[in-house]
A and B are shown apart, each in its own frame.
Chain A
Amino acid sequence: MTELLDRLPAPSRLDDADLSLMLTIRAFELKLLDLYGRGLLHGTTHTCLGQEYVPVALRTLLDPGDHVFSNHRGHGHYLARFGDAEGLLAEIMGREGAVCGGVGGSQHIRRDRYLSTGVQGESLPVATGVALHLKRSEPGQVACVHVGDGTFGEGAVYEALNIAALWELPLLVVVENNGIAQSTPASRHLAGSIAGRAAAFGIDHRLIGTADVAEIRRVLAPLVARTRLGVPLVVEFATERLGPHSKGDDTRPADQIRRIHENGWYARYARRYPDHLDRLDAEARAYVDAVAADVTARPPSRWTPS
């Protein structure tokens, strides 16, 4: 293991804003698992532990005029765009100040040009429709949609890719390939590869194997610029899901999870820049603790069915 780690390039030093955001997302997700453990959350949630760097890296490549479509594992996407931990936690907890009144919960959130929904693959055709609107009405903007590897089992994905390629739409598909769909490893749910499937539609594909935010941005900046001109793109992040699918449903062996921890961006950054990480991590955890204390004390959200 050590040998492998030594072969990986050392992570670049992050600026405070990026690192702080990644640590806030991590602290937020850990807090959710803690709140669940204490019986304070209703329903379920899917944390993005391990994958925090994906939306943070994309953050500066997108602008407020772009649309972001998120999925069931979307807290990081939301926090990277809005930094609004209060509104998100209130939404998940059904408390006053919830960004969608507590109606949508963890998986169904809409704000400005951000939207998540809870059915795998469903957002790809919708994002394609938004991309069609953007192409005609706001050229230069993109519709960015996050999906996981498991979502590639859904036919909606291929219907949408076909149309996006045929109509030359500004659609950016971000695949967070964490190699596991709930409990089913990619070896048992994905024939061929994501790259091969993009190629089948003549859509450009880029595999990102690093968690280095600066490197990701350097590679993707020109590709996203091209997407803005109506050249759809599939970006596949080879990433790792550190936590369970939802709550306590992780069936992976303990040594595999330990390896994911050791290889993850957090541990690697901590080894290379311990002081930087410790300082901002403490701040992020304190911030999330304060948000949780505040939101937990709020009255229930109100909504009238109509």
Chain B
Amino acid sequence: MRVGEHLNAALHAVFERTPDLYLLGEDVADPYGGAFKITRGLSTRFPGRVLTTPISENAITGVAAGLALSGDRAIVEIMFGDFAALAFDQVLNFASKSVSMYGTRVPMRMVVRCPVGGGRGYGPTHSQSLQKHFVGIPHLSLYELSPFHDCEAVLDEMLSLGEPCVLFEDKVLYTRPAGLAEPPFCLAVEGGVARVFLDGPPDCVIIAPGGLAHRAMAAMRSLLVEEEITCTLLVPSRLYPFDVAALDADLPVAHVFVVEESTGGGTWGAEVAHLLHRRHWDRLAGPVTLVHSAASIIPTAAHLEREVLVDESTIHRAIRETLRG
């Protein structure tokens, strides 16, 4: 099964057993089923709860917040995650603040789904990874779609937190196979962290969200074959707040890399590195290495886009240079 189909099936399953759940988004109704077909079939099965909306990211996110205030649950699909910038006020100043700014805890059960990332030639306003722009907002949890985590369980977790969540979905994942780590690598998922590993202690650990998993695994394979460097990949489901203790079984290791597609500057990886330094500084060989895209807008032409975005070779090079000098 592909990741997109897995997510679609998970939405069907959650809707089936959650009568107070709504989904709002642009062009989500059948037969279109959303720009990436993730909501296909939902509006037919759940009429009245799956609502196709005007092009109004701010309002539909606010409507979801209104539903959440009323005790319902709501999922918003932002067609391209970039457009979440138009909904930022509702996320930053209303939905997340409402959890605590009225003096007592107000449950806000809502998820904003954001397809993100480049590699498909959509250009500067349709290719960004916006995770870093949402890091550090009180009562806002950030999750990322992963090929290894069970989407239904992740949706359940987000919708029962009582705090709004953003789910970042790397668009390149939708057509990738779900749940596979090819030999010789093994896969284990425990708690919120998926682990791709070889037997024995690794030379380094890579921490990367789900959208980077296939690129990281390809780099792990070429590093193993060409350099005899062994890596363990850790894929957290929740990016923020980041549970650094959940990685204790695999850390400390001398060399740690945090890999993300975000363009450079004020990134999620910097937050993770900060947490790792505080917890494991005395046992690390050096600073955690950040691997991210160039500090640039994301161009449209394929050859230019490749120069900006993190890919397998960026990860391979960063690890080889750090470990081999």
Contact = CB atoms under 8 A, between A and B. Distances in A.
Interface of A: 98-104, 108-110, 115, 117-119, 122, 124-134, 136-137, 143, 155-156, 159-160, 162-163, 166-167, 303, 305-306
Interface stretch (B100-108, B233-241, B269-277): B100-108
B63 A125 contact: yes
Given A117-B94, A156-B59, A160-B59, A127 B102 contact: no
Contact of A103 (B67, B68, B100): B100
Contacts of B22: 132
Given A103-B100, A159-B56, A132 B106 contact: no
A183 B116 CA distance: 41
A125 B103 contact: no
Contacts of B90: 122, 125-126
B43 interface: no
Task: With a 10 A CB-CB cut-off, give which of A98, A125, A131, A156 has the most chain B CB atoms.
Answer: A125
A101 B64 CA distance: 26
A129 B59 CA distance: 9
Contact of A126 (B51, B65, B101, B102): B65
Given A159-B54, A305-B100, A127 B48 contact: no
Contacts of B97: 108
Given A125-B63, A128-B63, A132-B67, A155 B58 contact: yes
Contact of A129 (B66, B98, B106): B66
Nearest to B110: A129
Contacts of A103: 100-103
A306 B241 CA distance: 13
A170 B67 CA distance: 14
B89 A124 contact: no
A137 B105 CA distance: 23
A299 B12 CA distance: 52
B69 interface: yes
Nearest to A116: B102
B59 A104 contact: no
Interface string B54-88: 10101111111111111110100000000000000
B53 interface: yes
Contact of B61 (A99, A109, A125): A125
Interface in B141-162: none
What are the 4 tightest A-B residue pairs by CB atom distance, in nearest-first order? A129-B66, A125-B62, A101-B103, A159-B59
A87 to B, nearest CB: 11
Interface of B: 22, 48, 51, 53-54, 56, 58-72, 74, 89-90, 93-94, 97-98, 100-106
A155 B58 CA distance: 9
B41 to A, nearest CB: 22
Nearest to A69: B66
Interface centre among B58, B68, B89 (most CB of A within 10 A): B58
Contacts of B66: 125-133, 143
A201 B89 CA distance: 24
B54 to A, nearest CB: 5
Nearest to B68: A129
A126 B54 contact: no
Contacts of A122: 62, 89-90, 93-94
Contacts of A137: 70
Contacts of B93: 117-119, 122
A40 B268 CA distance: 42
Contacts of A98: 103
A162 B58 CA distance: 12
Nearest to B64: A129
B63 A306 contact: no
Contacts of A125: 58-63, 65-66, 90
B100 A156 contact: no
A161 to B, nearest CB: 9
Contacts of A118: 93
A206 B79 CA distance: 37
B102 A110 contact: yes
B69 A129 contact: yes
A132 to B, nearest CB: 6
A108 B64 contact: no
Contact of B65 (A109, A129, A159, A167): A129
A160 B102 contact: no
A162 B103 contact: no
Contact of B54 (A109, A162, A305): A162
B86 to A, nearest CB: 9
